[in-house]
Structure formats: structure tokens, C-alpha cells
A and B are shown apart, each in its own frame.
Chain A
Amino acid sequence: MNNIAKDLQAIYRERVLEHSRNPHNFGPLAAPDREALGFNPLCGDKLTVYLNLQDDVISGVTFEGIGCAISIASASMMTDALCGQSLTEADALINAVERMFTENAPIDNERLSEVMALEGVRSFPSRIKCATLAWTALAAALRGPATQVTTE
């Protein structure tokens, strides 16, 4: 790889590219209990997050839609991290990711070790909303049924 591509590795790490090429849990749930559409008006990207809840636990989470490598990878990592989590745990994870991107807060939650691959995005202010799009939608889905949120 040449020097330019090396610089770009900070944002497009191999784990990020792998998730974007082959996103995990991509597609709708058959009978979601909750869903929310996340919309980034800056680029027109739209991701829908689907949830199944069993008691207070996220028993299933998937997403679908159109997005850049960053937003797709972040959504893919999010579904891996959130599945099987209680609502309280999910809130803590969402909060930690938001603080990671907006306040440069360190991540000390093992469930988010994969998401750490996105930390390079913090050096690209115009791309942070790409990374948070799916998480914003997830937070909205947890708040209530069928909503739409934007990153603005």
C-alpha cells in the first residue's frame, strides 16, 4: 500500500472494511417488536434497525439500508455487540459509543472491542455522524415503536 493508503488506514481499518463488505445481521426481522429508521440528511443515507425483545433482553437485532463503509460497519458491529443484552446494558453501550465519538471518551467495555476499530473516525469530524447513524436509530427504537430519527 502507498503512503496515502496508509494514512487512510486510520479510518478504514481492515476490520471496518470487512464489516462493510459483509455486514453481520443485515436484513429485516420477520416480526420485529421495534424498528426505527435513521436518516443522515447530509448524505441521504438511511438505515433501519429492527429489534426483538424478550422480557427486558434484546433477543434479536438486525439492520438494513444504504450507507457508506463507516455507517454499515458501525451498524454491523452494533448488532453483534447488542444481541443478548438487557435494556439497561444496551443503554450503557449506546452511551459509551456516543461518548467515544463525541467526547473522545475511552472505551472500557469488552463488548465494544470490535467497535474500537472505528476510533480512527474521530479524526474525521465530517464522518462521525456516519459512525453514529445506526446507534442513533437503535436508541430511538429502544425508546418506543416505529420512529424516525435524523443525525441533525
Chain B
Amino acid sequence: MVSNATLSTPQDVFDVERIRADFPILHQEIQGCRLAYLDNAASSQQPMAVIDAVSQYYQHDHANVHRGVHTLSHRATDAYEAAREKIRAYINAASTSEIVYTRGTTEAINLVAASLGQDVRAGDEILISHMEHHSNIVPWQLLCERTGATLRVAPINEQGELLTDEMIALMNKRTRIVALTHVSNALGTINPVELIIKAAHDHDIPVLIDGAQAMSHSIIDVQKLGCEFYAFSGHKMFGPTGIGVLYGREDWLERLPPWQGGGEMILSVSFDDTVYNRLPYKFEAGTPNIAGAIGLGAAIDYLQTIGMHNIATYESGLLEYLTDQLASVPDVRLIGTAEHKAGVQSFVIEGIHPHDLGTVLDHKGVAIRTGHHCAMPVMEFFGVPGTARASLAFYNNREDVDQLIDGISVATKMFA
């Protein structure tokens, strides 16, 4: 559930310039122009607090976790587990047993798809939506190939909104899981996940929510949502790359078998019998991304000092400005015009290929994503090979948007 509550005392006034000072990467020139970083849906930037936390860890505390009796191993373990507790509290999970570290959202979804295999038989169904990222499509296709199950896809409309009635109508007693994105990476659509989760539960179907794009824009309360699984990535919420989280409700994680074997995930190993470790370690084979976890914990601390409510309010104003400015450019077609959206706007310009636009914008210092956004079925639905996508974070300002619009006018002059 997206809530307006803040978890700690936020700054009273949202001062974007003060916030920008926390992000060193923003203060550089690209091709002689100030950088306007509008590719946050692909990866967000890190505040100094995160960079420092990772650096401090490597300078002072690094050792392997859960293994040594020496001081550094204790410190590393404490910092790594403290970050897990921060994540638990931040998403309001019932226990740290429910917070499984992964490499990112993709690995979290693959984990569930792999471990769920024991429950899936030929003739069963997996239900997703038409607006999923490839990482919430392909793991389920692999599961279907392994088991003979069928992938069912709920449709979307021309605004890029999920047709919820049709998705619910596709739920039946053969549906083994519903996997749905919280916020579409290509369209920015915020899905009514509470409604879908409730409907799925009426059919006794577990639900996985892909939260990769939601975490940077809103507060997530997994207990209020009630989903069985929630997956997200550190680097899309101002933390490091290579770290992510699978939240899994404890009863489900207990029931599912491990998906990778190795160190850490076992209690004892013999050639006759191996005993798996308790949760969450059962799903964490091998030496984990310790620094990444600590960095993600620092990112959560940072977000809490600003306050997600402040962030959401500021971003919604900036998104409106971005959308209005884009809509006023001749020959622009906005892709993704849902009523409820987070800070993403995809668009195409008549006569200008997105890649050409991306190259011209780069020469104006503007970083956007161009292409299919790992959502080829969405592109196919809108009848375009790709789009240009500007995606916002709370450190973006109107100057970034104006720079984008200026760059577009250079491109339209060139390609007209």
C-alpha cells in the first residue's frame, strides 16, 4: 500500500538544490553542458551518504559475514544484518526472516519462479500483465517450459492502464501465481495492486509484486499490501547496483525449497544428508554482496531523512510539468497516459527515431533512455519499435526538464 506516512522526521521544506548537493555525480558537464540526468528508471544515482557507507565499510570493516570469530567478521556481519533490519522496518515486514538479499529484482523473481516449480504442473497457469518488464515475463516462461504450464497475460488499454476486470477474470483454480508490476517501467502506470492481490487471494492464488520502479516513489508496506512476495532493486532507490531484495511471507519461504546451493545456505553438509539453514539464509547461497546491503541500508536512512511523502509530492508536481512541456512540443505522442502515474514519461516524435533523439540529447547533456525499455510487448501494443523515456527522481528540477525540451527542439530542427 502506498502510504503518506513518513517514518522519521523529514525536512520541513523540500529544497531540491540542497538535495542536489548530496549527489556529487550530478555536478558535472557532459559535452560542455550541465548534466540533466533523466534516466532514473534505468538506474538512480547515489547520495554521498551511500557512497560513504560503502567506502567506510571497505576501509574499516570488511570481512566475510557469518563465518569468522574475528572482530572484522563480527563488524561486517553486524552491519550487514543491521541493513536487513532497516529494510524490514522500511517495508514493514513482520520479520527479518522475510528479507532475502538478492542481486536485484530480476534475481528475486527468478528465485520465486525456480522454487515454485514444485507446485506447478502441466495445465497450470501463471498470470502476468501485458505491461511487465522482461524480467517479470521470461522467468515465468522458463517455468512454463519446464512444467508445461501456460502463461496467461492480462491486457492493458490505450492509456497504458491494466484492465483489472480482465485480469481478475483470468484467475482460476489452475492459476499458481499472479505476478504483476507495481509501477510500469516503460509507462509509469501505478497499478492497483491492492485490488489484484485481494482478488487473487479470493481464489487462493499467491501474488508476486515487481516493486523495482515503486520503491523510489512511495512507501511500501508489505503487510498492508498482503502480497506473498515483493521484489525490488537497490540501484533503483539510490543504493548500489548488485543488491536487491525478495520479501517473502515467512510461511511461503519456509515451504519453498532452496534455489541455489552452496555455503551460507546450509547448517550441515554430508554426502548422505544436508540440512538447510534457517530463513532467510536458506535462499542466500555463497558470499553475499555485503557492501551492497550496507549501501542499501544507507539509502533507506537517507530517504527517511527527506521523507517519502515530500518526495512523492515534489515528484508529482515535476511530472506534471514534464508531461505538460512534452505535450506542448509539436508532433510529440505521449506513450503512457494513465490516470495514476509515477515519475516516468515515454514519448515518440513523428519523424525522429528515438535513438537519433537520444544521440542529440546526449549532446545537450541530457541523459534519457531510448529503445524498448526491456518491455517489447508494451512497444508492440503501442505499435512503436521503441520510445524515448524521461524518468524523474527527487533531485531533478525544472531546469532538467527545460534542458530536455531545448534538446528536443534541436533534434526537430535537424530531422525536420
Where the two chains meet, the residues of A that have a C-beta atom closer than 8 Å to any C-beta of B are 2-5, 7-8, 11-12, 17, 20, 42-46, 66-70, 124, 126-127, 130
Contact = CB atoms under 8 A, between A and B. Distances in A.
Given A44-B385, A69-B415, A2 B355 contact: no
Given A2-B410, A5-B413, A7-B31, A68 B379 contact: no
29 contacts: A2-B410, A3-B32, A4-B31, A4-B363, A4-B410, A7-B31, A8-B363, A8-B414, A12-B356, A17-B414, A17-B415, A20-B415, A42-B371, A43-B354, A43-B371, A43-B386, A44-B371, A44-B372, A45-B355, A45-B385, A46-B385, A67-B353, A68-B353, A68-B356, A69-B356, A69-B415, A70-B355, A70-B356, A126-B359
Contacts of B413: 5
B181 interface: no
Interface of B: 31-33, 353-356, 359-360, 363-364, 370-372, 376, 379, 385-386, 410, 413-415
A130 B414 contact: no
Of listed A42, A43, A68, residue having the most chain B CB within 10 A = A68
A124 B371 CA distance: 16
A3 B363 CA distance: 10
A12 B32 CA distance: 19
A8 B33 CA distance: 14
Contacts of A70: 355-356
Contacts of A2: 410
Contacts of B354: 43, 68
Contacts of B355: 43, 45, 68, 70, 127, 130
Nearest to B380: A44
B376 A12 contact: no
Contact of A43 (B364, B370, B410, B415): B370
For the complex of A and B, the 3 pairs showing the least CB-CB separation, nearest first, are A68-B353, A44-B385, A68-B355
B31 A43 contact: no
B34 to A, nearest CB: 13
Nearest to A3: B32
A147 B165 CA distance: 42
Contact of B379 (A11, A20, A42, A44): A44
A130 B359 CA distance: 12
Contacts of A46: 385
Nearest to B371: A43
Nearest to B351: A21
Contacts of A17: 414-415
B414 to A, nearest CB: 6
A3 B33 CA distance: 11
A124 B268 CA distance: 54
B290 to A, nearest CB: 33
Given A5-B414, A43-B355, A43-B385, 7 more contacts: A4-B410, A45-B353, A66-B385, A69-B353, A70-B355, A124-B359, A127-B355
Contacts of A66: 385
Contacts of B364: 4
Contacts of B363: 4, 7-8
